[in-house]
Amino acid sequence: MKIFLVGGAVRNKLLNLPIQDKDWVVVGATPEIMIKKGYQQVGNNFPVFINPNNGEEYSLARTESKAGKGYNGFITWSTPDITLEQDLKRRDLTINAIACDEKGNLFDPYNGQYDIVHRKLRHVSSAFNEDPLRVLRVARFAASFAHLNFRIANETKKLMYQMAKNGELSDLTVERVWQETSKALMSNNPQIYFYVLRECGALNILIPEINNLFGIPSPAKWHPEIDTGIHTLMSLTMSAALSNSIDVRFATLLHDVGKSLTPPNKWPSHHNHGKLGVSLVKSLCNRWRISNSITNLAIIVTEFHDMIHNIEHQPIESLVDLFNRIDAWRKPYRVEQIAIISEADARGRTGLENIYYKQSRYLLFTFKLALKVSTKKLIQQGLKGIQISQELNKRRIQAIKKGLIKNMK
């Protein structure tokens, strides 16, 4: 019985990156041997055990064969005579198919170290195309390691394209798609994930709401980059620089989806695209079963983002109405989120990446002024029900106006 550290932990160690989780492979053992040694079995489809001393997962070396559609359509074998090389062969990328024994010796039958040095994301074997989830995983790794100059090998790109063309991706569950997408959104360069999926034909299958934006023009006066799909991913790039919140990054990704509903004869104008886009946001979030907090912010941003760009010219009454509609009094963090997303939208444009976006400062400043109005005082004065909300609106409007005048002096 031999135990090897495998996968991401070995890869990250070679890249001098933090190690998040450790996965272990056990060669030459059976479930009975593992249980006798005190390991706790948790896997049913294939033997996975928890080491009670460190809580880490130990899997018996195994092989797999495709027996059905989708991510779960596999038959696995785990016997004591399965070698480490056989186990590593079933993995997705060569950089994830390196093992390390307890003495620090590396076992690298598929040249993962070579690909680490040459910054290549390359599939281990032709078995790659048996698992459609690997298309998303490669796109995610491309996003996660783009800052280290990793690129997808041409032969792997071709295989990903063929998998998308063959319809394999349609068998993926929504849970798996969102799991990989959410991880990609939190990477250093989330835009790369969507570029990769589009290049191989997967974006149109999995996220048509984003894919449909490419090729749709916006006015050059406001969007020097013209293409709405390019602008969307430029905005996502900017949001990743401004925030590490998945809520913010996801809302940024979807803010312009309504432009896909503009009739071509109206291009490049996109009147009312914010409200039109709300239905698309709701549909995607329902399909992927995304949490309410992420969904609600995406809906708010999609509907109101254009208002923020000319917020200094909005009546103060409209500004207070906006705060009411986004439930800012109970959820004040939403104002800061919207400010960040609006800035990402404004700076996600060719040549405008470094502009000073004063609108976000105005939004935050006016909200701070409105917060000074005390609800408690109104209740103490005997106001009730709708009287409270009406008086609150009135006083908040007054507070903002007074604060702005004072700030101008």
Residues comprising the binding site for Mg(2+)? 21, 23
Please, are residues 277 and 252 in contact by the beta-carbon 8 Å criterion? no
User: Could you tell me which residues are annotated as the binding site for ATP?
Assistant: 8, 11, 91, 137, 140
Please, are residues 278 and 299 in contact by the beta-carbon 8 Å criterion? yes
Distance CA 54, CA 68 (A): 35
CA-derived radius of gyration, the chain: 26
**What is the helix (H) or strand (E) element at residue 136, kind and residue range?**
helix 133-144
User: Could you tell me which residues are annotated as the binding site for CTP?
Assistant: 8, 11, 91, 137, 140
User: Could you tell me which residues are annotated as the binding site?
Assistant: 8, 11, 21, 23, 91, 137, 140
Please, are residues 267 and 223 in contact by the beta-carbon 8 Å criterion? no
Pairing of strands 106-107, 99-100: antiparallel
256: Cβ contacts below 8 Å, ≥ 6 apart: 213, 228, 231, 232, 235, 273, 277, 302, 345
Query: What is each CA distance from 167 to 52, 158, 229, in whole angstroms?
Result: 42, 15, 24
Tokens of 41: 């079995």
Q: Which amino acid is at 156?
A: T
- Give the three-state DSSP class for 36: helix
Please, are residues 269 and 284 in contact by the beta-carbon 8 Å criterion? no
